[in-house]
Amino acid sequence: MIGMSTTRTVLSFHWFIFGFDGRIGSWANCVSISPVTYFLYLDSMATLEIQTGDAPILRETAVPIPEIDADLLQLIADMFETMYAVQGIGLAAPQIGVSKRLIIIDIEEHHPEYPRIALINPVITMAVGEELGEEGCLSLPGIRGMVQRSATVKVEGLLPNGDKIEFDASGLMARVLQHERDHLDGVLFTDLLIPGDQQLLEPPPEMATEI
């Protein structure tokens, strides 16, 4: 999970936007979410425990999701509730102890071109360029680092209504997609750190404090 400060109020979220309608090629607010829409209005969302440190599930390969049912939709709702409660912008199912290939992302507050989305069985089919950026993870409290990621990616997966989706992402969205997708294969951002890049995070000598 990538953490980031946000001003969203958790209790106000009784519905979610799950991405864009790939059939028309543009972002849309729940335009294609049919009979399963009922779960978007649930008031019984739960805040789940985030797995941290050396929790075994963080190193496991998550299991593909064979079908979309009420339990999965409830899980998605609970994941959003959990993510907002800890002021995150992305969350993968293994981070809340569930071995499913499921991620959610919400960077809409800072990047309105990317409304919040839940992706089932996401696959990165193309990656172009390189970009160095700072990352953290609520599964690794207090740790941050500079990580090289692809600058642009193409991703495909399923939306909660069962529609297949494929889209391109760049900038922060590309970084969060790669970070969360890594969680599904038991990869943490700390596995990708290159020592030389971390100098960018070290304080100047005059600011260093001995402990």
Residues 57-66: b if buried by 16+ CB within 10 A, e if exposed: bbeeebeebe
**What's the rounded Cα separation, in Å, for the pair 183 and 60?**
9
Considering the candidates 81, 113, 180, 202, report the single residue annotated as catalytic: 180
For the entire predicted model, the pTM comes to 0.78
Give the residue with greater pLDDT, 198 vs 56. Answer: 56
Q: What is the Cα–Cα distance from 93 to 64, expressed in whole angstroms?
A: 11
Cβ atoms of residues 152 and 174 within 8 Å: yes
- Confidence grade of residue 205 (pLDDT, cut at 50, 70, 90): low
pLDDT greater at residue 157 or residue 22: 157
Instruction: Specify the residue for token string 């009922």.
Output: 38
Q: Does the pLDDT value for residue 116 go beyond 50?
A: yes
pLDDT digits (tens, 9 = 90+) for 65-104: 999 999 999 999 999 999 999 999 999 999 999 999 999 9
Q: Which of 69, 68, 74 is CA-nearest to residue 44?
A: 74
Backbone angles phi, psi at 66, to 5 degrees: -80, -25
Q: Is 131 a catalytic residue?
A: no
CATH superfamily, domain at 10-207: Peptide deformylase (3.90.45.10)
Any bridge partners for residue 120, and if so which?
102, 158
Angle made by CA atoms 18, 24, 26, in degrees to the nearest 5: 55
Distances in Å between the Cα of 189 and the Cα atoms of 60, 81, 105, 139 are 15, 23, 17, 10
